């Protein structure tokens, strides 16, 4: 099992214990262990397998938890979790995913109103039964009702980064099958969609049955849903469905194109084929009964007079228009990125020192980073006031004298206050190299009010960019109400950047927002919002999102050197 999967099991145990009303210290122990496991740079499975290492050396993991982790690694399951699941209604896990509805409130709903499913919860809210419970109220009821759709989607989809873990695991497993010649993932995963509902794999194999048998032998497979001569559907223990299709080598490119999609892209492609007197399907491109293309995606698209579209662009938005005009963009690549302009250190809620973050970024080939710890409004993580921030910046000055090959910028993530204005005075912000302004509080305000707050922040001469501009959290929280078009116009008029926060739960801006920024001539900054050295690796998720929005290296500001960035900021 991966660190992510083990961490998720411990979080689930903590939720179920809290739902049952267990001792708070016991609940906290599982949550702390989950956090420790999630942040470990090493594989837990490798630590367990190494007789010279012990999980008990890590904070928050004692003998009992270490034994449970060992059981998970060795067997893929945990009897204790199964016991807890048997004691709680199966559907309660769906209720626990409703934003703002923690295990305690879920338990109260179950105990007082016998609510055990999302449908029952929706009905109880609509009938105004929830607001009368102690600790709830009208606003909580309204928030729960809005969050039910988010929870419903979370039951059906997973984040792309989680899907990627499954995909890489399955690909590695299938490549060990001697009968497999080619294996590749397709579907929405390949297009880089933020969330994924299921996984599609295509295989060219000397023996299709052997390939399907090999997939069925994977340790994470729970059950076979259906199996035919060339297709098998199965369900993983996580609940995720996986489809495997065996195709002929001469049709592999056509099948990859077809099963990558999207549906709307394929509809447009079929229309183009028909206009040329051709037919296209998962087996190839045909003129009458004769196949004229199919082995590779390049030849499939070429048969229709088209370039081979990057998978991220295949959404039937502007890709065909660009191709017809000869303007298909050369999309930004991870190797284009030179700096990361949003990250946190131990000064607030990060897990590593500034130097550790800088050295880790340098190893990834970056030339500059901005340390942007929170301002004082975010008091729960020890946000910095002017005095502490200046003390941090003095340390950064000293650090830059020692470091070679990377520049650490003096930055801050300053809060856009509920009443308007920024959390730090202008004389402090004027000393920063980089200021990202973000909304963390007052997210339930009317859209007009939030929009005005953000635009006012962009009118401050010291602000460089707006962080995670819509505030959404994938499968957890919808965007707050904001007029993104008005914000883009203000960014253009004030010469500000818009952040694409690469954290896989945020990916904010979304792909449509990235395209909007490009349309308004507003440059995007892709930043990781990393809270640990490992978090810096999420830059790839941001780059993928930018590609879905059609962004080139020129559209992304931090593909430039810091000297070039300063000129864009008007500071050279």
Would strands 279-281 and 221-227 be described as parallel, antiparallel, or unpaired? unpaired
Predicted pLDDT of residue 367: 98
Superfamily per CATH, domain 251-324: DNA polymerase, thumb domain (3.30.210.10)
In which order are the strands placed within the sheet that holds 279-281?
279-281, 284-287, 290-293
Predicted pLDDT of residue 154: 67
According to DSSP, residue 224 is labeled E
Contact in structure between 78 and 68 (CB atoms under 8 Å)? yes
Would strands 198-205 and 241-246 be described as parallel, antiparallel, or unpaired? parallel
Average pLDDT over residues 86-93: 74
Structure tokens at 64: 């009992």
Average pLDDT over residues 16-24: 87
Mention every residue, 6+ apart, whose C-beta is less than 8 A from residue 243: 198, 199, 200, 201, 231, 232, 233
User: Worst-scoring range by mean pLDDT, 155-159, 366-370, 424-428, 517-521?
Assistant: 155-159
Predicted pLDDT of residue 8: 84
**Distance in angstroms (rounded) separating the CA atoms of residues 181 and 130:** 57
Q: 293-339 pLDDT, tens per residue?
A: 999 999 999 999 999 999 999 999 999 999 999 999 999 999 999 99
Average pLDDT over residues 538-552: 98
Residue 202's H or E segment, with its range, is strand 198-205
Contact in structure between 159 and 195 (CB atoms under 8 Å)? yes
The more confident residue out of 46 and 538 is 538
pLDDT at 140 over 70: yes
Contact in structure between 524 and 558 (CB atoms under 8 Å)? no
**Distance in angstroms (rounded) separating the CA atoms of residues 303 and 3:** 45
pLDDT at 228 over 90: yes
What confidence tier does 21 reach under pLDDT thresholds 50, 70, 90? confident
Q: At what angle do helices 263-275 and 252-260 cross, to 10 degrees?
A: 130
pLDDT at 366 over 80: yes
Q: What is the pTM of this model?
A: 0.83
Mention every residue, 6+ apart, whose C-beta is less than 8 A from residue 45: 1, 2, 73
CA-closest candidate to residue 34, choices 11, 68, 63, 67: 11
**Distance in angstroms (rounded) separating the CA atoms of residues 78 and 198:** 25
In the chain, CATH 3.30.210.10 covers 251-324
Predicted pLDDT of residue 87: 83
In the chain, CATH 1.10.150.110 covers 3-155
Contact in structure between 565 and 367 (CB atoms under 8 Å)? no
**Distance in angstroms (rounded) separating the CA atoms of residues 559 and 552:** 10
Structure tokens at 40: 């470990």
Residue 174's H or E segment, with its range, is helix 160-174
According to DSSP, residue 341 is labeled -
What confidence tier does 496 reach under pLDDT thresholds 50, 70, 90? very high
Average pLDDT over residues 75-82: 86
The more confident residue out of 119 and 401 is 401
**Distance in angstroms (rounded) separating the CA atoms of residues 130 and 140:** 8
Fold held by 3-155: DNA polymerase; domain 1 (1.10.150)
pLDDT above 70 coverage of the chain, percent: 99
Can you list the positions of beta strands (E) in 65-124?
none
User: DSSP labels for 437-501?
Assistant: EE--S-TTS-HHHHHHHHHHHHTSTT--EESSTT--BTTTBPPPP--HHHHHHHHHHHT-EEEEE
According to DSSP, residue 90 is labeled T
In the chain, CATH 3.30.460.10 covers 159-246
Fold held by 334-568: TIM Barrel (3.20.20)
Structure tokens at 4: 């992510």
Predicted pLDDT of residue 149: 79
Question: What average pLDDT is seen over the chain?
Answer: 93
Q: 406-443 pLDDT, tens per residue?
A: 999 999 999 999 999 999 999 999 999 999 999 999 99
CA-closest candidate to residue 37, choices 88, 83, 86, 1: 1
Domain 159-246 sits in CATH 3.30.460.10: yes
What confidence tier does 572 reach under pLDDT thresholds 50, 70, 90? low
Predicted pLDDT of residue 156: 80
**Distance in angstroms (rounded) separating the CA atoms of residues 373 and 392:** 10
**Distance in angstroms (rounded) separating the CA atoms of residues 281 and 294:** 9
pLDDT at 231 over 90: yes
Average pLDDT over residues 529-542: 95
**Distance in angstroms (rounded) separating the CA atoms of residues 124 and 114:** 10
**Distance in angstroms (rounded) separating the CA atoms of residues 38 and 6:** 8
pLDDT at 279 over 70: yes
pLDDT at 41 over 80: no
Q: 151-172 pLDDT, tens per residue?
A: 777 678 899 999 999 999 999 9
pLDDT at 237 over 90: no
Predicted pLDDT of residue 472: 93
pLDDT at 40 over 80: no
**Distance in angstroms (rounded) separating the CA atoms of residues 478 and 487:** 18
In the chain, CATH 3.20.20.140 covers 334-568
Structure tokens at 415: 């809060």
* Cα dihedral: 543, 545, 548, 550 (round 10): -50
Contact in structure between 66 and 53 (CB atoms under 8 Å)? no
């Amino acid at each position: 099992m991966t660190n992510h999967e083990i961490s998720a099991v411990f979080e689930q145990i903590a939720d179920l214990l809290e739902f049952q009303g267990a001792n708070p210290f016991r609940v906290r122990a599982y949550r702390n262990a989950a956090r420790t496991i999630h942040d470990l740079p090493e594989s837990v499975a490798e630590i367990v397998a190494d007789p010279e290492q012990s999980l008990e050396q890590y904070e928050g993991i004692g003998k009992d938890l270490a034994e449970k982790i060992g059981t998970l690694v060795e067997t893929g399951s945990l009897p204790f979790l199964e016991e807890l699941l048997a004691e709680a209604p199966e559907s309660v896990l769906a209720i626990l995913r409703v934003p703002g509805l923690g295990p305690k409130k879920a338990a109260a709903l179950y105990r007082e109103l016998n609510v055990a499913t999302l449908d029952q919860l929706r009905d109880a809210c609509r009938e105004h039964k929830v607001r009368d419970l102690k600790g709830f109220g009208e606003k909580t009821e309204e928030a729960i009702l809005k969050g039910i759709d988010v929870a419903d989607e979370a039951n059906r989809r997973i984040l792309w980064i989680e899907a990627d873990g499954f995909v890489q695991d399955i690909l590695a497993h299938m490549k060990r099958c001697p009968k497999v010649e080619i294996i590749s993932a397709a579907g929405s995963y390949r297009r880089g969609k933020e969330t994924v509902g299921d996984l599609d794999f295509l295989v060219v194999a000397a023996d299709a049955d052997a390939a399907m048998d090999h997939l069925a032998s994977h340790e994470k497979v729970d059950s076979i849903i259906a199996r035919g001569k060339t297709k098998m559907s199965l369900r993983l223990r996580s609940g995720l469905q996986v489809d495997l299709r065996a195709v002929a080598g001469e049709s592999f490119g056509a099948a990859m194109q077809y099963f990558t999609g999207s549906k709307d892209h394929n509809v447009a492609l079929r229309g183009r084929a028909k206009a040329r007197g051709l037919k296209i399907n998962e087996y190839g491109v045909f003129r009458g009964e004769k196949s004229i293309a199919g082995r590779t995606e390049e030849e499939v698209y070429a048969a229709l007079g088209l370039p081979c579209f990057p998978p991220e662009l295949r959404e039937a938005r502007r890709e065909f228009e660009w191709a017809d005009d000869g303007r298909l963009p050369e999309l930004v690549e991870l190797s284009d990125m030179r700096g990361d302009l949003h990250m946190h250190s131990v000064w607030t809620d990060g897990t590593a020192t500034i130097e550790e973050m800088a050295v880790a970024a340098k190893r990834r080939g970056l030339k500059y980073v901005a340390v942007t710890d929170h301002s004082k409004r975010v008091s729960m993580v020890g946000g910095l006031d002017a005095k502490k921030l200046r003390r941090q910046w003095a340390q950064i000055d000293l650090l830059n004298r020692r470091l070679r090959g990377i520049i650490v910028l003096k930055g801050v993530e300053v809060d856009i206050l509920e009443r308007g204005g920024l959390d730090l005075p202008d004389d402090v912000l004027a000393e920063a190299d980089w200021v990202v302004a973000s909304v963390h509080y007052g997210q339930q305000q009317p859209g007009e009010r939030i929009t005005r707050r953000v635009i006012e922040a962009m009118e401050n001469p010291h602000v460089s960019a707006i962080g995670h501009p819509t505030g959404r959290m994938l499968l957890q929280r919808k965007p707050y109400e904001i007029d993104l078009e008005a914000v883009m116009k203000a960014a253009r008029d004030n010469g500000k950047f818009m952040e694409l926060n690469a954290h896989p739960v945020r990916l904010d801006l979304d792909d449509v927002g990235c395209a909007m920024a490009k349309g308004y001539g507003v440059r995007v900054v892709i930043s990781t919002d990393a809270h640990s050295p490992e978090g810096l690796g999420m830059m790839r998720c941001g780059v993928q999102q930018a590609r879905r929005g059609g962004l080139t290296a020129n559209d992304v500001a931090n593909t430039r050197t810091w000297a070039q960035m300063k000129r864009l900021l008007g500071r050279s």
